[in-house]
Each structure stands twice: as structure tokens, then as C-alpha cells.
Amino acid sequence: MKQISQPVVKKDAAALLSGKPVYTDDLAMKDCLIIKLLRSPHAFAKIKKIDTSKALRIPGIEAIFTYEDVPNTRFTLAGQTYPELSPYDGKILENIVRYVGDEVAIIVGKDEMCCEQAKKLIQVEYEVYEPLLDFTKAIDNKIVVHPEDDYKYLVDIGNEVKRNIVSQGRDEAGDVEKELSLCDVVIERDYHTKANAQAMMETFRSYAYLDAYNRLNIVSSTQIPFHVRRIVANALELPKSKIRVIKPRIGGGFGAKQTACCEIFSAFVTWKLKKPSKIVYTREETFMASNSRHEMKMHVRVGAMKDGTICAIDLHTLSNTGAYGEHGPTTVGLSGHKSLPLYKLNASCFSYEVVYTNTMRAGAYRGYGATQGIFAVESAINELADALKMDPCELRLKNMVEEGDIMPQYYNETANSCTLKDCLLKAMELIDWKNKSLKTDLGDKVRGLGVALAMQGSGIANVDVGSVRIKLEDDGFYTLSIGATDMGTGCDTILAQMAAECLDCEVDQIVVQGVDTDSSPYDTGSYASSTTYVTGMAVVKACEQLKEKIVKEAALLMQTKEEELVFDGKMIRTLDENKAMSLNEFAYLCAAGGKGKMLMADDSHSSMVSPPPFMAGIAEVDVDKLTGEITMHDYVAVVDCGTVINTNLARVQVEGGIAQGIGMALLEDIVYDKNGRMIANSFMQYKLPTRKDVGEIRVDFMPSYEPTGPFGAKSIGEVVINTPSPAIASAVAHASGQYVRTLPITPEKVLGFKHED
């Protein structure tokens, strides 16, 4: 293969690296009205009165909108395929505010300064309620976060809103209690992962304007342009045909932009005032008033025999969705369905509840629940190894899922491509596992080793769809229209590589376009690790079609039979080589002279399965004996993502995911004060890993071949964030003797100074 498994440079590299104006705020017209939001200072309150009269007198203020001015419909901001599994529980503005940061009023003015001034002059009278802040006490609490009658959900998700339960369920395969009762050892532990900020460098932003047809155009930094079209249509009570969404380059998403946090505001303002408007969230707003990872508490029981045979795992997850239910019912599922299948088990059980509280809404963040579940399950497996005095890698090699296995907790799918064992063996080799011990005394510090496995999915089976259109242009190049959204991950380039491979041409010959819901083919968006796998397959199908069309049309023009022709990407010739035509010539003939016709092909793809990528990660960390300080020394990660399409971009995905995982493991923690106000709401308090914090990250691949994927590929974007937390927790435990089960693993917890919860 010429274009696949190559380190092809990203198509947008030159623009990005020369600072071209390609992001939302660079493109917004200069005369946009500026939008600022007044946010609630209370975690739970009813707005009794709002007086905007003084604020409206500030020069430059154009309008101020309150709950009385907006449509009354409830909807969800979650970017999911209709019918969404997230409940319709929010409005543009409402007279009840449910967390500190919830929107109270929309201020529109000529510049930021006048909006900020006006904000201070809006007088709001609140009836303050006691908030529900502890998610472990949410179920059947006397405080009900959503008491309203017009609350609704579209799909049965086990919802009991008056008990604060968004969703609940249970999946059992085999008889867990019986299996556990037969085991020699049962490890029973509680693990707790915190809400984390996705913290993409470009905060939420969008602008809107009306076009010549009086349609609402929204330019947004989003992962889900087609879902934004629906969400805005729902919120504004408009037909979708009135709305167009455009996605330029995005400064990172990681799932955050799978929730349409800010688009409804610019859309509403522009629709109302018939003028262009723009909203750019501050970093503080992005922290405290958008969405985060779901905080989860997990109770795990793992049963095994003395020889290290793991027999059964029981996992219960309690998930905090915050004030609104975006992605709540779906993320929780992954905590079990993408952790338990890592092992061959006689029986397993996964049960869960997702609850409302008066904290910021949770949403999608890379890993989407799998990260949390894998922290719990892999930590428990590590604790089991220690209890059995077995090498944690040996224990895994003995029990892990293998190619051909049916995975009962993974919707009974078969692992058709899986090199997990090779991944672990390779990781062991890279770190020199055999010659090291789990704990090495270095004097002031102790070095520890820890390991973890992970999996994820590739797209959402039977739900999501990717479509593409490819056209042959008059100069013999191709334009590839896709609806999938490159958010920096390089999917535009990866999909172009696939097209180039199919059409036997150079990647430069494939022109890729950004997403515009008017002209791009429908795609559910870039999330759930779907682009390479789902949209990639659509590319392959469309290109095959186009090739056939080229040959068919050429047969007409060359007055020969289709079967007589071969197309090698550059030339179309007859088998006997008597007649030949270059693709250029052919393309010109198609475009001109009344002889031919323009050729294009489109296709969509939706998969019946979601083949998991797998990986193994090993962490080597140093713990300071005196201070408990943890330093990352080395991290090796070996990934099975099927065929690697772009060797550079895949590697950087892994490195980036591991670094984020290290942040989750050691640093990142969204904390609230006792009144429900988020304390860590800037990079000052919420520490992202810097280049000094991540140590050395080393990456390798053990490609399997996924029969249902394009060129054998699976996904890679999400699985890579899942191993650091459990691997580092175990490494720290080996070094310090302290098993930290509540993230992040801080020096205080390592030294046992701080009670974990």
C-alpha cells in the first residue's frame, strides 16, 4: 500500500503552522454583536424577579434577554443521533437555575466592555434552595433537581426523575454470586474518579448571521455540526431547513464540543435581532459552565482462584451527571461494557445508576465512561495480583481476551481482531519488565512499576452513520466532501489517504472540504472513535463506485467495452494497450465538449459492530519517600488499532492521550466549595500537565487486521486515555505501599495525610 501506514503530513499543516485565520473567532465578521451571559451565583434557586432596566441604559447595549423572552421548549445539548438517549431537561433560559454558572440572562452589546458593565447592573431576586451536591446521596433525596412537569425523555433509559435518577440498569452474564462464592480470593474495593475538564485550548465559541435567504447560519467550533443543526432547531422551535452550520478548524474538542454549549445563544440572538452575533467563552466559563467528565464511584468485586484464574467480576457504577443529563445514560454504559470484556470470565455483572446533582453538567470526554470503568476494573485486577503475589502481567496474560473470543458484556460481539497479548508482551519488552522488580529503592525515592490494559469501541454500532461524496474534477483531481469533523486529530488527512489509496493517486490529488451542513454529506460527527472506522469505510465504498463510473464512462468515450479497460490511477487503457487516455484528458472530456458527464459518487456507512481497539500501558514512576511527590519516569504504550493509517498521527494520538491520562491520574480535579461553587476554574488551580510533568512517553503498535474496517483499521482516538490512571495507581502503590483509589493520586493521599473522600 502506497498511502496507508505512511507518515503523511496533515493537509492543514501549512495553514496551522503559519498562523492563518482558520478558526472560528478569526473568521467572525468585525461587526458581530458581542454576547455575554449572566450566570447564577447559586447552586439551586428560583428566579423571582429580574430587572434589566438599569443595565439596558448602558451605551452600546443592544438587548438583554431573560427566561421570559426565550422559547419554552425543553431539549438536550447532547450531540447524539436522534432519538437521543439524553433526556430533554434544559431550556435556553429558565426561571430555575440548577448549578453555579447556569445561565440567567443573555446580554448583547457592541463590545465586551459594555456587556460586562451591563452584567453588573442586572438585578436578580432569587429564592435560594438548598442544593444537592453529594451525588452519593442523590437517590431519593428530599431535594429534587428536576421537579418540573414538562421534563421528557425519548427512549426508555430507566429514568426516575423524581428520585433524581436519570438512568439505571443492570446486565448480568452468568451467575456472578455463585461464581464469586466458589472463588479462593475475592477482592472487593471502591474506586472514585473525578470530574475532569477536557480543557481543549480553544474555548467554546460560535457566531451566527442571516444570509440572503433569511436563513440562520452558524459558524461553530463543534464536533457535531449536523447535531447542532437539530439542537438549535429544537431550541428555537425552527425547522431544520432554516439552519446551516459550518465548522472551520477547531482548536481541540476531546468530547467537550460534542455538547452544544454555546451555539444556542448566538443562534437565538441573531434570529431575534436579525444581526450577526458572536459568543466566546472565557476559560473560566469553560471550566465552570460547560461540561466535564462524569464523576463516578465504582464498587468492584473480582473473584479468582489461587492459580490466578479470574472467574467473575461484579461492577456497580454510580455516575454524577450534574444538573443536566447530557450523555449521562450513555457514558455510564461504557464503564462496564468496555472494561469487563478485557477478561475471559465465567460470569460478570454490571449495574449502574446515573444521578442528578446541583453541579455543572457532565458530558463527553475522551474515553466516555470507559476511562472510569477501566480505572476501577484494572485497579482491582492489580490489587488481586498483589494479593495473590502474582506478577500483574502474568495474571493478565493468563486471563485476557483473545482474538476469536465472544465478549458477553460487549453485546456478545466477537473479538475479530485482537493482538492484546502481543501488545502487553511488547510493552514488557520495551520497559524491560523481566529484569526489573515492581519496586526499586533509589535512596530518597522509590521507583514503582504498574500496568493496565484498555479497550474502547469504534463508532456506535447500528446508530451512527458517516457519508462522503467524491467528485472527479476537470483537471483530474478529486474533491472529497465529508461530514466528519476534523478537530485537530487529522481525520481530513486520514480520509484523504484512504481515498488516494483507493484511487491510486497521491494524497495531494485529493482535496478535502470542511463541514457545511448545506453541502457536506450527512455525518453524525466526530465522536465515539468513529471517524477512521465508520466514515473511512464510506470513503472506501464511494471511491470504489467512482472507479467503476470512470471505467464505464471511459468505455463510452473510447468506444470500447468496460471489461477491456483498466484504470491505474493515472491512465485508462485497453488491455491490449492499443488505446490509452490519461486521467487528465478523460476529466477534461467529461467536463467539456458535450460528450461526457461529470462523475461523482457518494456512499454512507453504518456498522453493525463496533470492534474494540486494545492496548497495554506500563508506567514507571518515582515516589519521594519524604514528600510523597510523584514523578513520571517512563510510560510505554503499545496499541492495537488494527491497521495504522497514518503512522505519525496515530503516534501523536497515543502520546496526547497518555499525557491527558497522566493529568487525570496525578493532577486534575474539579473541586467545589460547600456551596457548590467550582473552586478550580482556571489553569492556575486546575493544573494541566506541562511538558515537565509527563516524563518520557514511548509508543509502539501491534496492528491486527479488522475485517470490517477500512484497510483493516479500527479506532484510536479514545482508547489511549484509559491506561494511565490504573497503571500509575499501581506503580505508586508498589513504590509507596499506599493504594490510592480516589483520583487524582496526590502526595497527600500517597502519604496517607488526606482521607480519600
Partner 1 sequence: MKISLTVNGRKIQEDIQESMLLIDFLRSHGYTSVKRGCETSNCGLCTVLMDDHPILSCSMLAARADGHSIVTLEGAGKEAEAFAEFMAKEGAEQCGFCSPGLIMNVIAMKKELKNPTKEEIKQYLSGNLCRCSGYMSQMRAIEKYLQEESV
Q: Which residues bind ligand FES (CB under 6 A)?
A: 201, 252, 488
- Which member of 32, 472, 487, 543 binds partner 1 (CB under 8 A)? 487
Q: Which is nearer to ligand FES, 460 or 487 (CB)?
A: 487
Q: Which is nearer to ligand FES, 269 or 649 (CB)?
A: 649
Q: Tell me how far apart the alpha carbons of residues 646 and 675 are, in angstroms, rounded to a whole number.
A: 48
Asked whether position 295 contacts partner 1 by CB under 8 A, the answer is no
Q: What is the smallest separation between the CB atom of 13 and partner 1, expressed in angstroms?
A: 4
Q: What is the smallest separation between the CB atom of 718 and ligand FES, expressed in angstroms?
A: 16
684 contact, one of ligand FES, partner 1, none, CB 5-8 Å limit per kind: partner 1
Q: Which is nearer to partner 1, 9 or 273 (CB)?
A: 9
Chain mean position to CA 598: 38
Residues 595-654 that bind partner 1 (CB under 8 A): 646, 648-649, 651-652, 654
**Helix (H) or strand (E) run with residue 734 in it:** helix 724-736
Q: At 108, list the grid cell.
A: 448583547
284 contact, one of ligand FES, partner 1, none, CB 5-8 Å limit per kind: partner 1
Q: What torsion do the CA atoms of 277, 259, 102, 320 make, to the nearest 10 degrees?
A: -170
Q: What is the DSSP letter of 20?
A: -
Binding window for partner 1 (CB under 8 A); candidates: 156-164, 336-344, 532-540, 688-696: 688-696
Residues 383-442 that bind partner 1 (CB under 8 A): none
Q: What is the smallest separation between the CB atom of 10 and ligand FES, expressed in angstroms?
A: 11
Q: What is the smallest separation between the CB atom of 457 and ligand FES, expressed in angstroms?
A: 24
Q: What is the smallest separation between the CB atom of 45 and partner 1, expressed in angstroms?
A: 26
Whose cell is 484523504? That residue is: 496
Whose cell is 506478577? That residue is: 391
Asked whether position 491 contacts partner 1 by CB under 8 A, the answer is no
Q: Which is nearer to partner 1, 165 or 621 (CB)?
A: 621
Q: Which is nearer to ligand FES, 158 or 252 (CB)?
A: 252
* Nearest CA among 102, 120, 101 for reference residue 61: 120
Binding window for partner 1 (CB under 8 A); candidates: 5-13, 461-469, 620-628, 665-673: 5-13
651 contact, one of partner 1, ligand FES, none, CB 5-8 Å limit per kind: partner 1
Q: What is the smallest separation between the CB atom of 112 and ligand FES, expressed in angstroms?
A: 15
- Which member of 10, 278, 297, 301 binds partner 1 (CB under 8 A)? 10
Per-residue 3-state assignment (H helix, E strand, C coil) for 151-189: CECCCCCCCEHHHCEEEEEEEEECCHHHHHHHCCEEEEE
- Which member of 364, 583, 694, 745 binds partner 1 (CB under 8 A)? 694
- Which member of 79, 613, 657, 726 binds partner 1 (CB under 8 A)? 657
Q: Which is nearer to partner 1, 124 or 680 (CB)?
A: 680
Contacts of 244 (CB under 8 A, 6+ apart): 211, 215, 216, 217, 218, 229, 516, 517, 518
Q: What is the smallest separation between the CB atom of 250 and ligand FES, expressed in angstroms?
A: 9
Q: What is the smallest separation between the CB atom of 283 and ligand FES, expressed in angstroms?
A: 8
Asked whether position 688 contacts partner 1 by CB under 8 A, the answer is yes
- Which member of 81, 117, 141, 282 binds partner 1 (CB under 8 A)? 282
CA count, 13 A, side-chain hemisphere, 210: 12
Strand ranges inside 203-254, DSSP E: 205-210, 216-220, 243-247
Q: Are 348 and 385 in contact (CB under 8 A)?
A: no
What's the helix, strand, coil split of the chain in %, to 5? 30, 25, 45
Binding window for partner 1 (CB under 8 A); candidates: 100-108, 346-354, 428-436, 685-693: 685-693
Residues 494-553 that bind partner 1 (CB under 8 A): none
Q: Residue 569 — left, alpha, or beta (φ > 0 → left; ψ -120 to 50 → alpha)?
A: left
Is the omega angle on the peptide bond into residue 521 within 30 degrees of 0, that is, cis? no
Tell me the one-letter amino acid at 262: C
Q: What is the smallest separation between the CB atom of 201 and ligand FES, expressed in angstroms?
A: 4
Q: Which is nearer to partner 1, 110 or 272 (CB)?
A: 110
Binding window for partner 1 (CB under 8 A); candidates: 18-26, 155-163, 470-478, 517-525: 18-26
- Terminal Cα-to-Cα distance of the chain (whole angstroms): 53
Q: Which is nearer to ligand FES, 252 or 476 (CB)?
A: 252
Asked whether position 443 contacts partner 1 by CB under 8 A, the answer is no
Q: Tell me how far apart the alpha carbons of residues 431 and 452 are, in angstroms, rounded to a whole number.
A: 14
- Which member of 660, 708, 722, 742 binds partner 1 (CB under 8 A)? 660
Q: At 388, list the grid cell.
A: 495473590
Asked whether position 251 contacts partner 1 by CB under 8 A, the answer is yes
Compose the 181-210 pattern: x for residues touching partner 1 by CB under 8 A, - for all others.
-----------------xxxxxx-------
173 contact, one of ligand FES, partner 1, none, CB 5-8 Å limit per kind: none
18 contact, one of partner 1, ligand FES, none, CB 5-8 Å limit per kind: partner 1
Burial of 11 (0-12, 13-18, 19+ CB in 10 A): buried
Q: What is the smallest separation between the CB atom of 251 and ligand FES, expressed in angstroms?
A: 6
Buried b / exposed e over 555-565, threshold 16 CB at 10 Å, is: bebbebeeeeb
User: Where do runs of H (alpha helix) occur along 110-249?
Assistant: 112-121, 176-182, 225-236
353 contact, one of partner 1, ligand FES, none, CB 5-8 Å limit per kind: none
Contacts of 563 (CB under 8 A, 6+ apart): none
Q: What torsion do the CA atoms of 596, 597, 601, 602 make, to the nearest 10 degrees?
A: -170
Q: Are 646 and 449 in contact (CB under 8 A)?
A: no
**From the CB of residue 683, how many other CB atoms can be counted at a distance below 10 Å?**
12
Residues that bind partner 1 (CB under 8 A): 7, 9-10, 12-14, 16-21, 23, 25-26, 198-203, 249-254, 282-284, 487-490, 646, 648-649, 651-652, 654-660, 682-684, 688, 690-692, 694, 696-697, 699
